[in-house]
Chains A and B, each alone.
Chain A
């Protein structure tokens, strides 16, 4: 496939892998966090860690929009969907996230709630136009990448004077989460999470640019490389981080020059600033309350704010006690460290949110990598005829 296969080339991967192995010094380790679930998915799907030397470790970060959504917010969405005559529109990933009392949006749908899986915020606006007699709520989640489309949906609904459309806004911010991890006890005091550098998500930076990461590089002395989501992008970013660490540098570098600039997409940023404002605090699964880490809809657009319209009150719900999602999202534990991983908690019956989305650390490891946890029969490379 043009423009994609080029970034999955096995030959180039081996060249990069040997460069990483050559340049990574044997006397030290390199602990690199890929913040974004998209990277986690790529690393697992392409078996990237097989290509890294043993002293280069990838730590999965909290950048999976579904994983960090707290139970209480899913409960709110289910309560909305249960209202008579209301249509709840949602991205498909959230359907299976476990909520309180063993429920989920998928189960609520089976019980008769009108929940529609959509691919784009524009679909939610269209559904509102097509159903003038019914209230339509868009369950908006995601990081900076999915925020501008939600802003577009709201401004479009306003321009069309739609009175039956609103948005339940759960958009969160990447830099706030990274700060929270760097400020956490485990990283700052206990040193239980060695964190030497970050791979920053390119999708997010196509919107916000690379500039917001400069603060981390300066303040915390951690290098950041913004990388695309193809496996070669990730390999290249790892090499760039290894080089920075070897040279004692801590700056923001951009691997994804094909779409990311320092300033990002100024038009999208302006639209987001027009529609949204910072929340004082927002609960993240795994990280807890994180100050100024999420967006809410401005008063000017209150008519389209489902929280105001339906008087939604947020009630925090603790995670299942056995679930280690919190520690896994902070990089403190790995999926296989969790007692319920692969036993009670599987992708079919997820207990924790990390097992739900394919971007979640647990689901990615379960789906692609769990054979490494057991003594596997040493399989030779697939011998196949030409």
Chain B
């Protein structure tokens, strides 16, 4: 004879279970998933209060806020997954103002049928990334869409941070004569992702460079508080980021191809796919622009940090009403480094 056990809830079957519509329905199944997965992974004083919002004290000064949605395919790739990527991406967007990131929120859109074991892996990776970065996820939301209306899992994260006094970093602050620096090799993330794409499996030891850069930024800001611009060259790569900064600041740029660090394997992969590493995405690198007099100090500070050991000065800002980004090719000619057109597509032959 069955004996009803009060308050007993059978644990979520993460090993065999899949996301179903009840996990977003607001009922017991959703509460259980939040409790057994999200709360447990992200555990912190704000989430433990189980409110629909997180309350925290703010100090005087300038705050920044940034949001980023993540829809990467495949979800798991060499060097990372959508979970840690969604933490790093938003922390970096906050940090590119020179700010110290403080809190994150996370919104999940789950597709019906998505294996719970994969969801667990993603959430735990996210939690580990947040813990490592010292930036807690203090509030969140989960929705489930019917099968076929999503791609496994989409994650949107929002972050807020405080800008230290005296720091005024902005994309429109580059001036003619300024120097342009990058923190390391270009294109690693994009090539790691492409190596796994359907129809395109190729063997490489390249790993995504996904990383939270606020530690590097803090070291840079400490060495040179007057940094003019910071930006992480994610989608569209270095070329797109430089064009954004040139047009925001109303100036031109000249860079030297042979100064741009690119990993040999990334170069090789780009070569046979017909891609240009300057347009391939990064998730753990930044571009910095500062006055010429500050460049050596900034470079030294970057190289002293593990995330900036391959940092290099790659060029300078010039006055140019057309806002062109020009590049001296290692071959000896000069060309425009243009905005990315559409998606970067491989050439036929």
Contacts and interface: CB of A to CB of B under 8 A. Distances in A.
Contacts of A46: 329, 331, 333, 335
Given A119-B200, A123-B199, A371-B322, A65 B348 contact: yes
A329 interface: no
Interface string A200-222: 00010000000000000000000
A368 to B, nearest CB: 4
B316 A66 contact: no
B141 interface: no
Nearest to B295: A385
Contact of B348 (A49, A357, A369): A357
Interface string A20-55: 000000000000000000100100111111110000
Interface stretch (A88-96, A160-168, A256-264, A300-308): A88-96
Contacts of A51: 331-333
A129 interface: no
Given A118-B199, A382-B255, A14 B348 contact: no
Chain B interface, >50% SS class: mixed
Contacts of A65: 348-349
A352 interface: no
B315 A384 contact: yes
A369 B332 contact: no
A1 B336 contact: no
Contacts of A368: 335-336, 338
B326 interface: yes
A138 interface: no
Nearest to B343: A92
B342 A382 contact: no
Contacts of B38: none
Nearest to A116: B199
A382 B349 contact: no
A45 B348 contact: no
A190 interface: no
Interface in B301-342: 312-316, 318-322, 324, 326-336, 338, 341-342
A377 to B, nearest CB: 5
Contact of A93 (B312, B315, B347): B347
Nearest to A230: B331
B324 to A, nearest CB: 5
Interface string A305-317: 0000000000000
- Which among A119, A120, A143, A370 has the highest number of chain B CB atoms within 10 Å? A119
Given A65-B348, A92-B345, A96-B342, A376 B271 contact: no
A254 B101 CA distance: 60
A340 B200 CA distance: 37
A231 B346 contact: no
Interface residues of B, number: 47
B331 A48 contact: yes
B315 A371 contact: no
Contact of B346 (A92, A369, A376, A380): A92
A142 B334 contact: no
B199 A384 contact: no
Contact of B345 (A13, A93, A382): A93
A107 interface: no
A367 interface: yes
Given A377-B319, A382-B254, A95 B332 contact: no
Nearest to A363: B341
A80 to B, nearest CB: 19
Contacts of A10: 258, 329-332
A123 B198 CA distance: 10
A142 B347 CA distance: 11
Contacts of A119: 199-200, 346
Contact of B326 (A17, A146, A203, A379): A379
A367 B338 contact: yes
B347 to A, nearest CB: 6
B268 interface: yes
A146 B347 CA distance: 12
A371 B349 contact: no
B11 interface: no
B348 A44 contact: no
Given A123-B199, A382-B254, A385-B296, A49 B313 contact: no
B130 to A, nearest CB: 36
Interface in A117-174: 117-120, 123, 141-143, 145-146
Interface in A343-386: 347-348, 357-359, 363, 366-371, 374, 376-377, 379-385
B74 to A, nearest CB: 16
A89 B179 CA distance: 46
A236 B276 CA distance: 24
Contacts of B338: 366-368
A50 B333 contact: yes
Most buried by B among A13, A143, A146: A13
Contacts of B322: 371, 374, 376
B323 to A, nearest CB: 10
A47 B335 contact: yes
Given A13-B332, A45-B329, A146-B349, 8 more contacts: A1-B268, A50-B334, A51-B332, A347-B341, A369-B335, A370-B336, A371-B322, A381-B256
27 contacts: A8-B331, A41-B347, A46-B331, A46-B335, A47-B329, A47-B334, A48-B331, A50-B332, A65-B349, A92-B345, A95-B345, A96-B342, A117-B345, A118-B199, A231-B331, A348-B342, A370-B336, A371-B324, A371-B336, A376-B320, A379-B318, A379-B326, A381-B256, A382-B316, A383-B316, A384-B259, A385-B313
